Structure 1
Amino acid sequence: MRKAEVAENLNRVRERVVTSCAACGRDPGGVTLLAVSKTRPAGDLRAAYAAGQRYFGENYLQEALAKQAELEDLDICWHFIGPLQSNKTRAVAEQFHWLHSVERLKIAQRLSAQRPADMPPLNICLQVNIDDEESKSGLAPAGIPELAAAVAGLPNLKLRGLMAIPAPRDTVEEQRRPFAQLANLLQRLRAQLPDQPLDTLSMGMSGDMEVAIECGATIVRIGTDIFGRRETKID
């Protein structure tokens, strides 16, 4: 994708964030735009960086590590947002700033043990399967309080909040329901774990970003509306 096109797309998405925040009385500074760059070549990420983007989300580990090596001259904040297998935790613990997709205590324990001592704690979101879809990762809402309490006790992790990928909906009213449910779940976790910095709702993508912001999203994960239609996975 041309550098100018990436910049234009980013500006349009940023304008949507500002407009959405204004509509619901929120400060746009409270919403982080995460550019979902899976399957995109490093040149597209470099173009987005040149246009001011600093936060990038990757789903496929080997692809992400290759891009990190190619873009090591850039001050990027790397988020891993895909499912994570036990045999890949070390690379995430060593190379990423955030992980959005924790759904098992075993994974969290490995990440904490493998996080280098000279790095700050790894920021963690627990992934909620908000619609109980068999095809999606994540824990049922009922299991989140127990997992959150266990993760909060791990020394090299910082529990920040929740992530979800709701099923597509046809109307705004239908889109609002799972986002509101996730926001309510975070509020309950704050009461349960008052000493934790539970400040993050990672929810909302290109097609439902506005509703997610209305419901309290602090990170919106946008891929298509920044980089265009997804290319073939290269991992």
Structure 2
Amino acid sequence: MSIAENIAQVRANMAEACRQAGRAPEEVTLVGASKMNDAQACRDAIAAGIDALGENRVQEMTSKLAEHAYDGAPLHFIGHLQRNKVKQVVGKVALIQSVGSTELLDEIEKVAAARDLVQDILLEVNIGREEAKSGFAPEEVFAAAEHALACPHVRVQGLMTIPPADADRETNMRYFQEVRALYVDINAKLFHNELKCLSMGMSADYADAIACGATMVRVGTAIFGKRNYNI
């Protein structure tokens, strides 16, 4: 199937998940996770009406920016971001979804201030408390949001999470529900219920994420096909 056909199928699945949850399909943004796909694949996804594209790797993102791969759609950074690469991302993307430490927050604030802009971000929640994964532990999210509010050149738009890859479906949904509860809490207590973005769910579980309240899903394989990690 073509990228356009895959997007149409994902959209249909999203609409059904929304219907079952009593939600409107327009409430959920579809981000195409375009890691290891070339500029033409990104253009094809944009032509097919993808809401946004998301990249995991700074070098790949920079290369495809030079090829105008993302023209016509917002670009998000969705992978682990090292502090020494923040300068290559701030101001180049509409949203940094993976802000998982106060040190990274401070670096984004520093670079954004120097460029006289405000960078939209999501706070990443390490809901499975995985040692090898970045992100704030659930009990750290509220303080992280308060820290971000003190950064005038950073604007929190919501939360993002990636549950452990080995979690079964029931556990996965529990994780989604826990992150949504965190989102609702900080939204009410710190952001006057103005946050709109709860990014969770990927190719294998985006329907479940929508059922649990996701307003944004990040879909790669189901749109672009299996990645070739040997190239």
TM-score, length-scaled by structure 1: 0.91
> Does 2:49 correspond to 1:52?
yes
1:170 corresponds in structure 2 to 168
**Stretch deviating more after TM superposition (73-82 or 4-13):** 73-82
Within a 5 Å distance, the mapping from 1:190-201 to structure 2 comes to: 190-195=187-192, 197-201=194-198
2:100 corresponds in structure 1 to 103
Structure 2 residue identity aligned to 1:98: L
Measure the CA separation in 2 of the matches of 1:21 and 1:29. Answer: 9
Shift of 1:156: 1.5
Contact 1:127–1:162 (Cα < 8 Å) also in 2: yes
Shift of 1:155: 1.1
2:35 corresponds in structure 1 to 38
Shift of 1:157: 1.4
Measure the CA separation in 1 of the matches of 2:193 and 2:105. Answer: 16
Shift of 1:74: 1.6
Shift of 1:44: 0.6
Shift of 1:195: 4.0
Q: Deviations over 1:76-129 (max 9, x none)?
A: 211001111111111111211101111122211221222232x5x221111111
Aligned alpha-carbon RMSD (Å): 1.7
Q: Deviations over 1:56-86 (max 9, x none)?
A: 0101001001111101672221100111111
> Does 2:134 correspond to 1:137?
yes
Percent identity over paired residues:
39
Measure the CA separation in 1 of the matches of 2:40 and 2:94. Answer: 21
Measure the CA separation in 2 of the matches of 1:27 and 1:134. Answer: 36
Q: Structure 1 unaligned segments of length 5 or more: list them.
A: none
Q: How many residues align?
A: 228
2:120 corresponds in structure 1 to 123
Give the counterpart of 2:203 among 201, 206, 211: 206
Distance change in 2, residues 1:194/1:49 (3 Å): closer
1:230 corresponds in structure 2 to 227
Measure the CA separation in 1 of the matches of 2:191 and 2:3. Answer: 40
Distance change in 2, residues 1:196/1:102 (3 Å): farther
Contact 1:39–1:233 (Cα < 8 Å) also in 2: no
> Does 2:147 correspond to 1:150?
yes
Distance change in 2, residues 1:41/1:152 (3 Å): same
Q: Secondary structure at the match of 2:91?
A: helix
Q: Secondary structure at the match of 1:94?
A: coil
Measure the CA separation in 2 of the matches of 1:157 and 1:230. Answer: 33
Q: Secondary structure at the match of 1:95?
A: coil
Structure 2 residue identity aligned to 1:194: F
> Does 2:156 correspond to 1:180?
no
Measure the CA separation in 1 of the matches of 2:49 and 2:146. Answer: 36
Structure 1 residue identity aligned to 2:209: A
Measure the CA separation in 2 of the matches of 1:73 and 1:86. Answer: 24
TM-score, length-scaled by structure 2: 0.93
Q: Secondary structure at the match of 1:158?
A: strand
Contact 2:42–2:69 (Cα < 8 Å) also in 1: no
